[in-house]
Amino acid sequence: MALIVQKYGGTSVGSPERIKNVVRRVAKYNALGHQIIVVVSAMSGETNRLIGLAKEMQAQPDPRELDMVVSTGEQVTVGLVSMGLMQEGLKAKSYTGAQVKIITDSAFTKARILSIDEQNIRADLANGYVVVVAGFQGIDKEGNITTLGRGGSDTTGVAIAAALHADECQIYTDVDGVYTTDPRVVPEARRLKTITFEEMLEMASLGSKVLQIRAVEFAGKYKVKLRVLSSFEEEGDGTLITFEEDEKMEQAIISGIAFNRDEAKITVRGVPDKPGIAYQILGPISEANVDVDMIIQNVGVDGSTDFSFTVHRNEFDKAMDILKNQVQNHIGARNVVGDNKTAKVSVVGVGMRSHVGIASKMFRTLAEEGINIQMISTSEIKISVVIDEKYLELAVRVLHKAFDLDLDQEPA
Ligand code: ASP
Ligand code: MG
């Protein structure tokens, strides 16, 4: 007998029919003798609808009140799922985040979970109930309803699995697992049977939207066994997110190609090569709450150098404005230039730790297609390049092939 958390996304509970599918799967696991906690999102489209209503009342909805409104989406689905389970003859009980006592900080619309009271859930499970918990929401210490950010039900699922030391957290979604890259760009992309937690973290932060990044962080911190599966298929093992140390098999060197179209590049030219300059450039940028991704500073020549970094495309104008009006003259830079038609492509794999030549293979592959690399950044398990947006798809395709990701790598 195992304790399993099953998290279902919005499309998986998008209609009464689909909720009945969920119910059937839960009943099947229950019949095998497992204890099940179900965590659900709002029905698909519902959170957007609620945000739309809020915006009709207030152009910038008050964050506390917005959480009050959007948290109702999940409250509907937990009740419906419980009813469905009862209709199948199971014992079931629904909880909102507040009823469980999922305590969060008070950062409305992007709250972080601080603690989970597992007492009631444990007692219900012991009494044979399937427990159905609303994703995406919690309550702060003052009793205000909070939400965890878009896609936050993933994080609820993982956090509950961590709090109750569940044997597995299964994330049911509309894709059947994590792929080597986006199949819409590379039809040959394969589902990965396993991916390490660190690779998943890189993939999620680099734009693969299968899991909320906070959920992956949580899983890593508490060593939650996490699996991504399709809720529309009866069979299939999905993708298991593993921890390197329990990996017995030889890992593929590269697990995937991630990409992000929303990158914009900014260069401050001719800045004096002296202490404090990076801070004087990036200080005002971070004060304006603009996230900076890659950062490169050139080797200085004759006392001056160039300083480049990337930001999200939506924040390009804001960042350019700050640099031109507040920074350029202040630090005595020659000029500020930018390009918001860039994209980032990354190869990700823990195998990079033990294999040399990955970077040169990546650069050669791009060179053979005449794709110019504008910026490079690396971590222990990732190499990212910034390129002209118009070559993005080509770059992803040729890299996917060059690293043999279209070949089945499972041992025979
Ligand atoms: N319903 C919320 C959203 O649409 C949370 C979730 O689905 O995970 O973002
Ligand atoms: Mg989701």
- Ligand of minimum distance to the alpha carbon of 137: 1
Report pLDDT digits (tens) over 261-274: 989 999 999 999 98
Mutate to test the pocket of ligand 1, among 47, 76, 160 (most ligand atoms within 8 A of CB): 47
Closest atom, ligand 1, to C-alpha of 212: 8
Inform me whether the pLDDT recorded for 244 exceeds 80.
Answer: no
Inform me whether the pLDDT recorded for 252 exceeds 90.
Answer: no
pLDDT of residue 356: 87
Tokens linked to 369: 């297609």
pLDDT of residue 209: 74
Closest atom, ligand 1, to C-alpha of 154: 8
The reply to whether ligand 1 has any atom less than 6 angstroms from the CB of 47 is yes
Inform me whether the pLDDT recorded for 412 exceeds 70.
Answer: no
Distance 103 CA to ligand 2 centre (A): 21
User: What sections of 40-177 are H helices per DSSP?
Assistant: 46-57, 63-70, 72-87, 97-100, 119-126, 153-163
The reply to whether ligand 1 has any atom less than 6 angstroms from the CB of 110 is no
The reply to whether ligand 1 has any atom less than 6 angstroms from the CB of 42 is yes
Inform me whether the pLDDT recorded for 141 exceeds 70.
Answer: yes
Report pLDDT digits (tens) over 94-126: 999 999 999 999 999 999 999 999 999 999 999
DSSP percent split of the chain into helix, strand, coil, nearest 5 = 40, 25, 35
For 194-208, give one letter per residue: b (16+ CB within 10 A) or e: bbbbbbbbbbbbbbb
Closest atom, ligand 1, to C-alpha of 9: 7
Better-predicted residue by pLDDT, 270 or 244: 270
The reply to whether ligand 1 has any atom less than 6 angstroms from the CB of 351 is no
Report pLDDT digits (tens) over 322-378: 999 999 999 999 999 999 999 999 999 998 988 889 999 999 999 999 999 999 999
pLDDT of residue 246: 55
Look at residues 170, 231, 193 and name the one whose alpha carbon lies nearest to residue 34.
170
Asked if 183 and 395 count as a contact pair (C-beta separation under 8 A), the reply is: no
Cα 297 off chain centre by: 29
Strand partners, 169: 5, 226
Closest atom, ligand 1, to C-alpha of 153: 8
pLDDT of residue 411: 44
Q: Which residue's CA is the nearest one to ligand 1's atom 8?
A: 151
Taking the C-alpha atoms of residue 229 and residue 175, their distance in angstroms, rounded to an integer, is 7
Report pLDDT digits (tens) over 192-206: 999 999 999 988 877
Report pLDDT digits (tens) over 20-68: 999 999 999 999 999 999 999 999 999 999 999 999 999 999 999 999 9
Inform me whether the pLDDT recorded for 75 exceeds 80.
Answer: yes
pLDDT of residue 243: 85
The reply to whether ligand 1 has any atom less than 6 angstroms from the CB of 251 is no
Tokens linked to 66: 């917005």
Which residues have C-beta under 5 Å from ligand 2, the single-atom ion? 9, 151
The reply to whether ligand 1 has any atom less than 6 angstroms from the CB of 41 is yes
Q: Mean pLDDT in the chain? A: 93
Distance 352 CA to ligand 2 centre (A): 30
Contacts of 104 (CB under 8 A, 6+ apart): 111, 112, 113, 114, 138, 139, 140, 146, 148
pLDDT of residue 408: 72
Inform me whether the pLDDT recorded for 410 exceeds 80.
Answer: no
Task: For the chain, give the percent of residues with pLDDT over 70.
Answer: 97
- Amino acid identity for residue 332 in this structure: G
Contacts of 31 (CB under 8 A, 6+ apart): none
pLDDT of residue 206: 74
Q: In what order do the strands lie in the sheet with 145-147?
A: 113-116, 102-104, 137-139, 145-147
Inform me whether the pLDDT recorded for 248 exceeds 60.
Answer: no
Distance 153 CA to ligand 1 centre (A): 6
Tokens linked to 200: 């998943």
Taking the C-alpha atoms of residue 301 and residue 306, their distance in angstroms, rounded to an integer, is 10
pLDDT of residue 140: 98
Report pLDDT digits (tens) over 304-335: 999 999 999 999 999 999 999 999 999 999 99
Q: Which residue's CA is the nearest one to ligand 1's atom 9?
A: 150
Inform me whether the pLDDT recorded for 169 exceeds 50.
Answer: yes
The reply to whether ligand 1 has any atom less than 6 angstroms from the CB of 10 is yes
Q: What angle do CA 205, 210, 216 make, to 5 degrees?
A: 55
The reply to whether ligand 1 has any atom less than 6 angstroms from the CB of 97 is no
